[in-house]
Structure 1
Amino acid sequence: MSLYDDAVRVLKDYAAQPPLRDAYLRHLEEHSDGVWKACEAGHITASALVVDPHRERVLLTLHRKLRMWLQMGGHCEPGDTSLAEAALREAHEESGISGLTLLPDGPVLLDRHRIPAPCQWHFDVQYAALAPADAVQAISDESLDLRWFGYDEVAEVADDSVVRLLAATRARL
């Protein structure tokens, strides 16, 4: 199965956020390259909110370009065969943590946001991942900082999209 086919399957199986989910599916119907960064009309991205093993904190990265505290995530790459794989790869690359496991039952949230030209939109498919008990994080080249935040601290440092992702993740835990 191709990444494109997996994205369509994942989105069709995702029961929440029907209007937004349908917008993602329409985008993919209209753009056969809609999972790739080169698609200037917008493209699918995959991210994961990393939760500590005690389920009390989340790991956020201070994004180098955006200067914002965000979950780990980014563009799909040619070697990715599924959105889940892309989200796990990105989470591992940006956190340095090996052994992350996604929460079951697929994505926890969708978040579409505008991005600077030449592209128009990121259609982010958001997962949540549990860190193993022996997790040791390491700052990547894409980050200025990497830090664990208690659930009640997230709204003080992150934007509404991360706060919504945390709420959806906590409902799934």
Structure 2
Amino acid sequence: MNRQALISEIENYQSKYPEEMIYRGRFLDLLSYDDCFERSLLFGHITASAWVLNPSKDAVVLMHHKKLDRWLQPGGHTDGDEDVVRVARKELEEETGLRNVLLLHDGIFDLDIHPIPARKEVPAHEHYDVRFVFVTLTPDELTKNEESNQLAWIPLTDISSYVANEISIMRMVEKSALLYI
């Protein structure tokens, strides 16, 4: 997927969640910046993440992020790579060790824009996160890296207690219930 394909996907993206429809316009505005895939764009930049379900689709892998001190799905900066699906898959592999995964839904699973606090020389900014849903065939291959304090399969029914009902994660939980393969 390149920038033009991403623009087309976002233009055609539909959601019953009003916040995602607002985000859609903001994503399209950001994509007009040549450097929107670079973290050097200090007010905000494109990121990609992976919502990874186990084979029975009743649990998702979350990592307790060291820097942000929160439970989150795997994901990260695109660092110039316009192929957000590739970035989501790369981040998934780096942050969880899971290699045997399948893209469950062709296209964008979720759009989110969230604030990132200032840290050292980097000012507060926003991550424009494009999210994709995967399923792993080998859930026992979890391997934590240096970015997380902990990595775990969390039952979808228990996620709210881990993420304090954070709206974007709860939105993906709701969407997971609608997935059929």
**TM-score, with length taken from structure 1:** 0.89
Structure 2 unaligned residues grouped into runs of 5+: none
Match of 1:25 in 2: 28
Match of 2:146 in 1: 141
Aligned: 1:153 with 2:158:
yes
Aligned length: 170
1:4 CA displacement = 3.0
Which letter maps to 2:29?
A: R
SS of the equivalent of 2:30 reads helix
Identity across the alignment (%): 31
**Within 5 A, what are the aligned runs for 1:38-77?**
38-77=40-79
After superposition, give the CA deviation of every residue in 1:53-112 in whole Å (9 maximum; x if it has no partner): 11111111010111111100010034x351111111111111101121122221111111
CA distance in 1, matches of 2:5, 2:146: 29
Match of 1:12 in 2: 11
CA distance in 1, matches of 2:89, 2:9: 15
User: Structure 1 88/142 Cα, relative in aligned 2: closer, same or farther at 3 Å?
Assistant: same
CA distance in 1, matches of 2:86, 2:66: 23
Match of 2:91 in 1: 90
- With 125-134 and 143-152 compared, the bigger mean Cα shift is at 125-134
Which letter maps to 1:128?
A: V
Following TM superposition, the consecutive aligned residue runs of length 4 or more in structure 1 with deviations greater than 6 angstroms are none
Which letter maps to 1:61?
A: M
8 Å CA contact 1:46–1:74 kept in 2: the answer is yes
Structure 1 unaligned residues grouped into runs of 5+: none
CA distance in 2, matches of 1:160, 1:119: 20
Select the residue among 152, 172, 179 that pairs with 1:172: 179
CA distance in 2, matches of 1:134, 1:43: 31
User: Structure 1 81/28 Cα, relative in aligned 2: closer, same or farther at 3 Å?
Assistant: closer
Alpha-carbon RMSD: 1.8
Match of 2:137 in 1: 132
CA distance in 2, matches of 1:36, 1:22: 19
1:169 CA displacement = 2.7
